[in-house]
Structure 1
Amino acid sequence: MLAQSAIARFAERHLMPDKVEVTRGSGDDMLDPETGDLIPVLPTVVYADQAGLYGHQERIRSRGGHDGAWVEEVRPGYRMLLPLTAPEVWENDTVLVVEARDEQAVGRTYRVTALGEVSSFPVLRTVWLEEHNRKLAAR
């Protein structure tokens, strides 16, 4: 039987080829005591290292419209895989793709939509994301 640490190393090596930067910021302003101006609080980098990003479609059924009919909607989502050694990622943290095998992913940002999953047999961290912003590459 494979050891848990061997599976974790395999996952890190083969499922996490990209580099991301996860930041956390309150989005609030703080008072600059010298000028009396409100200045934005800079986000804090909580993780900057390897990850794997994988697309995921979510089907949602809800009552929509004025007639109350059920509407089925497909929303794109993303799953981010992190090593076990990564710090806990919080809801509303921002993920920036710094390097990726797929060059179109570089520069995209995502918002963490839920706390990371936990498991009785952890080999990696899974975090759910939604696309936040796509920076267009210079042509």
Structure 2
Amino acid sequence: MLDQTGIARFAEKHLMPDRVRVTRDGGEDVLDPETGRLIPGHDTVVYAGRAGLYGRQERIRSRTGREGAWVEEVRPAYRMLCPLSAPELREGDTVSVEQAVDGHALGRTYRVTALDEVSSLPVLRTVWLEEHNRKASA
């Protein structure tokens, strides 16, 4: 029998070298009783821990205008691997890179674009992302 926990430990050790923080929008605005103004609700940290970020390219074909000409576009997309112990992430959650093997990844943020993938042999969580904010390195 295949030992899933051994594979999961291997994946965490070798495929998740970075640290991320995942936040969820605070939701509705809250009334500040001192000023009487609405202020944005506090974002909630839903996960902080190990992860691995892996880039890939998405090819998208779509029709444009009345002529219906097909246009092919290539956009960067990212896959994030997390331990099974990480909670399920939602579309729109924000992923911030806090530590990374590649220094160019530090400070970048991503948006979760799809719910976690599921598997008959779960050993890690796979989440699809798109880059949200990229700060140029000095």
TM-score range, shorter chain: over 0.9
User: What is the CA-CA distance between 1:34 and the residue it aligns to?
Assistant: 3.3
Q: Is the CA contact 2:26–2:44 (under 8 Å) kept in the aligned structure 1?
A: no
Q: Is the CA contact 2:93–2:112 (under 8 Å) kept in the aligned structure 1?
A: yes
* Percent of aligned positions that are identical: 72
CA RMSD of aligned residues (A): 1.3
In the alignment, is residue 56 of structure 1 matched against residue 80 of structure 2?
Answer: no
Q: Please name the residue that 1:95 is paired with.
A: 95
What's the TM-score, normalizing by structure 1? 0.93
Q: Which runs of 4+ in 1 moved over 3 A?
A: none
Q: Is the CA contact 2:26–2:40 (under 8 Å) kept in the aligned structure 1?
A: no
Give ranges in structure 1 of 5+ residues lacking alignment. none
Question: 2:57 aligns to what SS in structure 1?
Answer: strand
In the alignment, is residue 123 of structure 1 matched against residue 123 of structure 2?
Answer: yes
For 1:12 and 1:120, locate their aligned partners in 2 and report how far apart those are by CA, in whole Å.
Answer: 19
Moved more, 83-92 or 65-74: 65-74
Amino acid at match of 2:7: I
Amino acid at match of 2:73: E
Amino acid at match of 1:67: E
Deviations 1:104-130 (A, max 9, x none): 000000000010101110000000000
Amino acid at match of 2:83: P
Number of aligned residues = 138
Q: Please name the residue that 2:104 is paired with.
A: 104
User: What is the CA-CA distance between 1:32 and the residue it aligns to?
Assistant: 1.5
Amino acid at match of 1:116: D
In the alignment, is residue 83 of structure 1 matched against residue 83 of structure 2?
Answer: yes
Give ranges in structure 2 of 5+ residues lacking alignment. none
Q: Please name the residue that 2:3 is paired with.
A: 3
Q: Please name the residue that 1:41 is paired with.
A: 41
User: What is the CA-CA distance between 1:5 and the residue it aligns to?
Assistant: 0.7
